Amino acid sequence: MPTIALVYFSQGGSTHLLAEQIAAGARQSGQAELRLIRLHGHQVHEGRWQDDTVLARLSEADLIVFGVPTFMGGPAAQFKAFADATAGLWFARAWTGKLAAGFTTSGSPSGDKLATLSYLSVLAAQHGMHWLSWDALPYQPDGTNHLGSFLGLMGHNLANPGEAPVLSEADARSAQRFGEHLARTAQRLSPQPAALPA
């Protein structure tokens, strides 16, 4: 059974809500082991992110799902500091061949979230990972993929600034379906143990 690690930063909580729904969908599929790894601002010291334990846990995963809110047209700075801290793994090619995917949220339906997903896919490419897009058609009757994203999952925080985050039912359902899709795909694409000789 493949291991999926969701590594994400969440400032106000909406990205965390989305991560929980993705994990719920993946677990429901029964096809993957899930690890939620939340990044925190206190892990950044003088502009540099540091936590070798997190990097070690990620290196054990078959699929790494990157999550970050979109701030000012791109990924939040705390996540970027984490991404920069993976340079040693990049140089060692430690994540080459792993699967990758991504998700993002913002306070508006657009919010230039595509730029953030593009950044995450380039981060995966730098590491030699295989990016998993999403195959869900937009505007499904149940609201799945109502924001029409294929590069990854997009969510929209419905709350006003300063209020507790709120995901729409459509976003929660989309996240669960995205998680199911990732688990199924990871199960299909992850290396399988060699069969024992007869």
What burial class does residue 183 get, using C-beta atoms within 10 Å of its C-beta: 0-12 exposed, 13-18 middle, 19+ buried?
buried
Report residue 83: phi and psi, to 5°: -60, -40
How far lies 34's CA from each of 22, 37, 141, in Å? 10, 10, 28
Note the pLDDT of residue 26.
95
With residue 66 as reference, give the H or E element that holds it. Answer: strand 63-71
State pTM to two decimals. 0.93
115 contacts: CB under 8 Å, gap ≥ 6: 70, 73, 74
Tell me which amino acid residue 116 is.
T
How far lies 39's CA from each of 56, 74, 130, 158, in Å? 14, 17, 23, 23
Nearest CA-CA partner of 157 in 143, 147, 148, 149: 147
* Contact (Cβ atoms closer than 8 angstroms) between residue 175 and residue 25: yes
Please report, in tens digits, the pLDDT of each residue of the chain (198 residues total).
Answer: 899 999 999 988 999 999 999 999 999 988 899 999 999 988 888 888 988 999 999 999 999 999 999 999 999 999 999 999 999 999 999 999 999 999 999 988 888 999 999 999 999 999 999 999 999 999 889 889 989 999 999 999 888 888 888 889 999 999 999 999 999 999 998 766 555 565
Nearest CA-CA partner of 71 in 131, 37, 115: 115
Note the pLDDT of residue 197.
61
β-partners of residue 136 are none
Q: Between vectors from CA 5 to CA 68 and to CA 193, what angle results, nearest 5°?
A: 150
User: Concatenated DSSP letters for 104-122?
Assistant: EEESSS-TTHHHHHHHHHH
Domains of the chain (ranges, CATH numbers): 3-189 (3.40.50.360)
